[in-house]
Every structure is written in C-alpha cells, then in structure tokens.
Amino acid sequence: MNRLASAKPWLLSGPALLLFLVFLLIPLVMTFLLSFNSFSFYGGIEESYGLGNYIEILSDSYFYEIFLRTFLIALGTTILCVLLGVPEAYILLRMRPFARSLMLLVVLGPLLISVVVRTLGWSILLGNKGVINEFLIRLDLISSPVKMLYTSGGIVVALVHVMIPFMIIAVWAALQRRDASAEQAAESLGASPVKVFTRIVLPQAMPGILSGSLIVFSLSASAFATPAILGGRRIKVISTTVYDEFLNTLNWPLGAAIAVLLLVSVLVIMLSWNRLVEKRYSGVFE
C-alpha cells in the first residue's frame, strides 16, 4: 500500500517522462556526443572523440561574427517586443470586454499562421521590388530601392512580428493580477497619466516583461525559418549555419558542436537573467 502510494507520482508522470526521454534527452545526448567526433571529406564521420570541432569554432572569427549577429538580432527583437508589447498589453487590458476579445484575437492571430507563410509575406513587403520600396518610389520619396531584405534589420522586424504575442501574453498575465483601482488611487494622489504608467503599471508589469523577454530572446536566438528566408546565404545566424553544416557540407560533427554552443550560451544567458530577476523581485508580489 505504502509502496504503491510512493510509486504513484512516478507512475503518473511516467508517460511524460518517457516522451521527454525519447524526444528530447536522447537526441540531445546524441548531438552532444556527435559534436566530439571528427570529420573528413573522404571518410565522413569518424568514431573518434576530441575537442577538434570546438577548437575550430572558437578560433575562427567567422563563427564569432555569426554568434554576435545572432545575439544582437535576438537582443534587438527582445527590446522591440518590450517597447511595443508592454503598451499594447496595457491598452488591451483597459479595453471594453468585447473590443478586448476581438483585439486579442488580432494580436494572437499570427500564432495561428505558419512562420514560413508569415515570413514569405515579409519578403514580399521588404524586397527591392517589394511593396514598400515600390510605394516609396511611386511617391518619389526615394529614387532607388532601400535594401531591407537580406539585412539584419529585416530579420528583426519579421521576428518581432512572430514573437510579440509571447511578450503580450506574459505581460498580460502579470497585469491581469493587478488591482486596477491602484491606478485610480495614484491618480487621486496627483499622478499624471504618464506617471501612473511609469510608476504604477510598469513596475507591476515587470515580472511579465522579464519572463516574456526570456521567451522572446531564446526563441529568437534559435529561430530558423525567419532568418533562413529573410537572410538567405548572406546574413547567416547560428541556426542557419548549423543547417548548412548538416545538409550542405555534410559536416555533422561541426554542426553539432555549433548547436551545442548555441544551447549552452542561451542557457547561460537565461539562467543569469533569471537569477537577476529573482533577486530583484523576490518578496514583492504575492
């Protein structure tokens, strides 16, 4: 009886654990092991273990550039998502119920459409012969097209579009718990609307902003479809580099090593961010 009771939690979480093991842990471990193998153009993957791949990556400025670009794109995306998502979430919360559910659908709508479709849409907009450039040229505002496709900026814009729902949901969840009459209280104490937002609403949204940033940053750093379509061969990020190593060069071990480095660096950034957040906000909110 007692034995059964203590086994219960394990039995109940068994299916999830199995899924976790088969679909996450095993591929991860295999990728990790693969990253230590070596590769030659004629012999393919060799069953030897060494740090050769890591040394190759860490001593090549080409890879540094790719890593830096990836994290700058992720950072830019995160910052833009905060700047746009926080006011948007607050405005949504203050709408009347009917308008709110309608607008929420609009905001979350992008999540219902495939990333590839959305990104192809952006490439139609951003291209040299794209809608935006054509429009600006028609209006005689510019004489030659502005380069937007195949730039980091273009990737950031499209990523923001993909990621902003996550930020809005996170901030929404944080703000929904708040007592809205605190804003009235602040107003009655003489705060202007700007002061109410910066001093009362924003601090209460902070836990949501921080967890939303975590999600957006890590998803952007490892995003594939958007940079692949909008960056092409020219603007490479880590995930597209891994893809190329696996499918074009067929150097799987090197690709695996890059993937492991991406995982580790995102993990380190996330954990230190989380530490910071917990230190700052423990004991303030219920």
Partner 1 sequence: MSFLEIKALTKRFFDMTAVDDFSLSVERGEFVSLLGPSGCGKTTTLQMIAGFEDPSSGSIILNGRNLSKVPARKRGLGIVFQTYALFPHMTVEQNVAFGLEMRGISGDDRRQKIANALDLVKLSHLAKRFPKAMSGGQRQRVALARALVIEPELLLLDEPLSNLDAKLREEMQLELRRIQQDAGVTTLLVTHDQSEAMALSDRIAVMQNGRLMQIGTPFDTYESPKSSFISNFLGKSNCLDARLISTGDDGAKLDVNGIQITGPAVNLLPGKVLISLRPERIDIVDSAEGVLPARVLERIFLGDQWLFRLETTIGNLLVVRRNRGRREAEPGETVHIAWLPEHLRILPQSQENVA
Alpha carbon 272 to chain centroid distance? Answer: 17
Residues 255-284 that bind partner 1 (CB under 8 A): 283-284
Whole-angstrom distance, CA of residue 244 vs CA of residue 67: 15
Nearer to partner 1, 203 or 232 (CB): 203
Q: Which residues of 108-128 are buried (b: 16+ CB within 10 A; e: fewer)?
A: eeeeeeebeebbeebbebbbe
Instruction: Answer for the pair 130, 123: CB distance below 8 angstroms, yes or no.
Output: yes
Binder among 199, 232, 264, 268 for partner 1 (CB under 8 A): 199
Binder among 158, 200, 256, 259 for partner 1 (CB under 8 A): 200
What are the residues facing 46 on neighbouring strands? 38
Helix axes 115-126, 152-176, angle to 10 degrees: 130
Assess 188 for contact with partner 1 (CB under 8 A). Answer: yes
Binder among 72, 182, 250, 264 for partner 1 (CB under 8 A): 182
Q: Which residues of 277-286 are buried (b: 16+ CB within 10 A; e: fewer)?
A: beeeeeeeee
Distance of closest approach, residue 234 Cβ to partner 1, in angstroms = 46
How many Cβ atoms are within 10 Å of 141's Cβ, its own excluded?
Answer: 9
How many Cβ atoms are within 10 Å of 194's Cβ, its own excluded?
Answer: 8
Distance of closest approach, residue 27 Cβ to partner 1, in angstroms = 42
Strands (E), 121-236: none
Assess 186 for contact with partner 1 (CB under 8 A). Answer: yes
Stretch that binds partner 1, among 63-71, 141-149, 181-189, 254-262 (CB under 8 A): 181-189
Assess 185 for contact with partner 1 (CB under 8 A). Answer: yes
Stretch that binds partner 1, among 31-39, 42-50, 163-171, 203-211 (CB under 8 A): 203-211
Assess 239 for contact with partner 1 (CB under 8 A). Answer: no
Stretch that binds partner 1, among 19-27, 43-51, 152-160, 186-194 (CB under 8 A): 186-194
Distance of closest approach, residue 100 Cβ to partner 1, in angstroms = 19
Distance of closest approach, residue 182 Cβ to partner 1, in angstroms = 4
Assess 97 for contact with partner 1 (CB under 8 A). Answer: no
Q: Please give the single-letter amino acid code of residue 212.
A: G
Instruction: Answer for the pair 208, 192: CB distance below 8 angstroms, yes or no.
Output: no
Binding-site ranges for partner 1 (CB under 8 A):
178-179, 181-182, 184-192, 195, 199-200, 203-204, 206, 283-286
